[in-house]
Amino acid sequence: MQRGDHPGLIMLRPVLHNNIWGGRKLGSEFGYELPDGPVGECWGISAHPHGDCVVDGGPYDGMRLSMLWDEHHELFEGAEGDRFPLLVKILDARDDLSIQVHPDDAYAMEHEGGSLGKHECWYVLGAHDRGHIIVGQRARSRAEFARMVEEGRWQDMENLIPIRPGDCFDIKPGTVHAILGGTLVLETQQSSDVTYRVYDYGRRQPDGSLRELHLQQAMDVIDYSVAPPASGEVAAPEVDGITRLMSCEYFEVLRVRVSPEAPVRLPQPHPFMCLSVVEGAGGHIATPAGSWEVSKGSHLVAPCGCGDLVLQGDMTLIGSHVPARA
Ligand code: ZN
C-alpha cells in the first residue's frame, strides 16, 4: 500500500454479547452502550460471524471487518488464511464462567466444520482482592480425569491460581480453564468460537434449562501432559513503554503504557496490529496519515504499511499481531 494514500488507523465499533455469567461493568467502566440483562463479552476486534465488528469513520465507515479482509486485503498484506485470524474481547465475569477447554486447529477442522482451534491469552484488567482463576488441570490421564468428573471432585481436578491486575496467562488448546466471578479480562485469541464445556455448576438459564456440556469432546482434546502454571506474573521487562507479554505460533501480545511525560513510538512492521485501550484517560495515536483520538474502550486496527505509531496521553493499551514468519 502506498504511503501517500494510506487511510491510517481503522477504528471499530465493538459487538456486545449477553451471557448468563456477565455483569454491567462493560457499560460503567468502558462506556459501551449495553443491551438489557447481563453482558459478559465485548468483541472489540472481530471478523467472526458471531460478532463481526463494523468500521467507525474514515473511508471504510460502515463496512464489516470481514468485508475489509476480503475486499481490501492490501490493508493486511502478508497475513495468510481465509479469514481475519485474531479476535480480541473484554470479558466482565460477574459470576464464574463454565469450566471449559478448546480444541486445536486439527481437531476443530475435523470435528467442527473447518473452524479454527483456539489458543487464547488473558490479560487481567480487574480482580477481587482475593480473586482467582482456573488454568490447567491436575488429572494426568483421561481415565483419571473421567474418574474425577464422575465423583464430582472438581477441586482436586482444577488448578486454582490467585490473580492481580496486570497478570497474563497463556491458555493453550487442551488446557482446562475458567474465568471466575469478579474478574475483568482482555482476551486475545484465534478467531474461533468453539468451546467444550466440562462443568457449569449445575446452573440454569433464564428459561430453566441447563447449558449443554461436551465432556467427550473435552476429554478428547485435554492435554494431560502439561503441568499447570503457578502464577500469571509477567516477567518480561518494559522497554520504552512496551512489554512483550506472550507469544505463540498464532499471535504475539504486547502492553503499551503511555504517560504525559513519556509518549511511546510503536513500530508497526506487521501485516496488521490490533490495539485496545484498556486503562487511563485516553489520548491520541498518530501515524503519517493523521491523528486519532482514543479513550478507554477504543478498539482499532493499524493496517499494513501505516508507519510507526506515536502514542500520546495517559493510557494503557493491549496490542496483538500475527508472528513474523520464519
Ligand atoms: Zn476459553
Q: Could you give the CA distance from residue 259 to residue 279 in angstroms, rounded to a whole number?
A: 11
Contacts by 49-58, CB closer than 8 A, 24 or more apart: 50/193, 51/15, 51/17, 52/15, 53/12, 53/13, 53/14, 53/15, 53/299, 54/12, 54/13, 55/10, 55/11, 55/12, 55/13, 56/11, 56/12, 56/13, 57/11, 58/7, 58/8, 58/9, 58/10, 58/11
Active site residue 197: yes
Average pLDDT on 88-93 reads 98
pLDDT, residue 50, reads: 95
Distance in Å, CA 211 to ligand 1 centroid:
16
Phi and psi of 149, rounded to 5°? -65, -45
Distance in Å, CA 100 to ligand 1 centroid:
6
Distance in Å, CA 262 to ligand 1 centroid:
35
Q: Identify the CA nearest to 285 among candidates 26, 303, 271, 270.
A: 303
Contacts of 63 (CB under 8 A, 6+ apart): 54, 55, 71
Q: Supply the pTM of this predicted model.
A: 0.95
Residue 129 pLDDT grade (very low, low, confident, very high; cuts 50, 70, 90):
confident
- Express each pLDDT in 176-211 by its tens digit: 999 999 999 999 999 999 999 999 999 898 899 999
pLDDT, residue 85, reads: 96
Average pLDDT on 15-24 reads 96
Residue 4 pLDDT grade (very low, low, confident, very high; cuts 50, 70, 90):
low
Distance in Å, CA 173 to ligand 1 centroid:
9
Q: Which triple of cell numbers denotes residue 219?
A: 476429554
DSSP bridge pairs for 18: 39
CA 41 to chain centre: 10
pLDDT, residue 1, reads: 56
Structural domains of the chain ordered from first start? 13-221 (2.60.120.10), 238-321 (2.60.120.10)
Contacts by 47-54, CB closer than 8 A, 24 or more apart: 47/83, 47/84, 47/191, 48/87, 48/191, 48/192, 48/193, 50/193, 51/15, 51/17, 52/15, 53/12, 53/13, 53/14, 53/15, 53/299, 54/12, 54/13
pLDDT, residue 190, reads: 95
Residue of 64, 197, 255, 257 marked catalytic: 197
Characterize the bridge pairing of strands 299-303 and 10-13: antiparallel
- Express each pLDDT in 33-89 by its tens digit: 999 999 999 999 999 999 999 999 999 999 999 999 999 999 999 998 999 999 999
DSSP bridge pairs for 13: 54
Q: Which triple of cell numbers denotes residue 150?
A: 464422575
Report CA-CA distances (Å) from 262 to 235, 238, 239, 250, 310: 22, 13, 12, 31, 11
Distance in Å, CA 101 to ligand 1 centroid:
6
pLDDT, residue 326, reads: 57
Distance in Å, CA 122 to ligand 1 centroid:
9
Q: 285 and 316 in contact (C-beta within 8 Å)?
A: no
- In the three-class reduction of DSSP (H, G, I as helix; E, B as strand; rest coil), residue 69 is classed as helix
- Express each pLDDT in 226-277 by its tens digit: 889 999 999 999 999 999 999 999 999 999 999 999 999 999 999 999 999 9
Q: Could you give the CA distance from residue 19 to residue 92 in angstroms, rounded to a whole number?
A: 10
Contacts of 19 (CB under 8 A, 6+ apart): 38, 39, 40, 41
Q: Which triple of cell numbers denotes residue 283?
A: 489520548
Number of H-type helices and E-type strands within the chain:
6, 23
